[in-house]
Amino acid sequence: MGEWAFYGIVILLLVALIKLVPYKVFRYSHRFVPVVYLVLVFHSVILIDHAMWATPLGVALALLMLAGSYAALVSIFGRIGAGRRVSGEIAEMRNYPGVRSLETVIRLGKGWQGHQAGQFAFVTSNVVEGAHPYTIASAWSPEEPLVTFVSKELGDHTTGLIDRLKLGQKVTVEGPYGRFTFDDGLPRQIWVGAGIGITPFLARLKEMATVSPDEARPEIDLFHTTREVDEAALERIAEDARAAKVRLHLLIDARDGQLTGQRIRDEIGDWREASLWFCGPSKFGAALRTDFAAQGFPTDERFHQELFEMR
């Protein structure tokens, strides 16, 4: 049993690490990991010499296996995140074909404790398909319990989502999660939202628009770079930026060229005093981080990147 469980865990790890494997296959195969873990615990308990349990190593192993077994059972019975799940209903849908994106507004039921701009949640619209993560694109108001998600056609789940979702459809929302919450306390911030990476900044813009003008807020420049163009979507971003008193720098790749660290520094004279918040393709984020680090920018303390990858 131990030998075959070991082979099984290796295969399951490969499925998790190889991103060419569809998310749906990964999701279902991953449910077997806690089962295999329990088999390995059984294997260990049977084969470990009884005298070893009385040694410090035996005590450590027992505690680790007990904790791991508890976690495995929580996973097997679907209780991970159960206390953060609330029911909801799709209230609005807006399609932006130019950027292949869908904006979905969900009216939440009781139990949602609120969220901070920049956090994300898991949404289940189809039990067979399971939960998928989306960055929240709206500010929270207890008086109006709505939460907005913007999804782009990038994978097997989000492609064609507009045809599968319907107004009034019941969904389950689990969250919020994440720490990309803009709360570093600095008076100067630079935001970079690349493509669909604009989403967490939309939530923060809406949140800032509701803040009193007398309340202290950082000075912010938002750089939004995109390959695709949808005039309605860009106008909504511009409106949100104006309402939040944030300077928007819009760059369309075909017209303006690619955004680089040097272009940001040319626009922002006091960039050394700012923090930089990035959301977008991971390679682009890594390139920006390296570029700013080369200029002496303290990236470990002031470069914040949303690591929005589930595998």
pTM, two decimal places: 0.86
In this structure, the strands spanning 101-108 and 146-152 are: antiparallel
Judged against a pLDDT cut of 70, whether residue 311 lies above it is answered with: no
Tens-place pLDDT, residues 170-179: 999 999 999 9
In the chain, CATH 3.40.50.80 covers: 188-305
CA distance linking residue 203 with residue 39, whole number of Å: 44
List 92's β-bridge partners, or say none.
Answer: 105
Please, where in the chain does CATH 2.40.30.10 lie? Answer: 82-177
Could you tell me which CATH class the domain 188-305 is placed in? alpha beta
Determine which helix (DSSP H) or strand (DSSP E) holds 86, and give its type and residue range. strand 85-96
Supply the pLDDT for residue 39: 96
Q: Regarding the domain with residue range 82-177, which homologous superfamily does it belong to in the CATH classification?
A: Translation factors (2.40.30.10)
| Chain segment 235-245, per-residue pLDDT in tens | 999 999 999 99
The mean pLDDT of 242-260, rounded to a whole number, is 95
Residue 308 has pLDDT above 70, yes or no: no
Give me the half-sphere count of Cα atoms (radius 13 Å) on the Cβ side of residue 17.
6
Share of the chain above pLDDT 90, in %: 82
Percentage of the residues of the chain whose pLDDT score is greater than 70: 98
Cβ contacts of 304 within 8 Å, gap of 6 or more: 180, 184, 275, 276, 277, 278
Query: pLDDT (tens digit, 9 = 90+) per residue, 109-142?
Result: 999 989 999 999 999 998 888 888 999 999 999 9
Is the distance from CB of 220 to CB of 185 less than 8 angstroms? no
Q: What's the whole-number mean pLDDT along residues 239-255?
A: 96
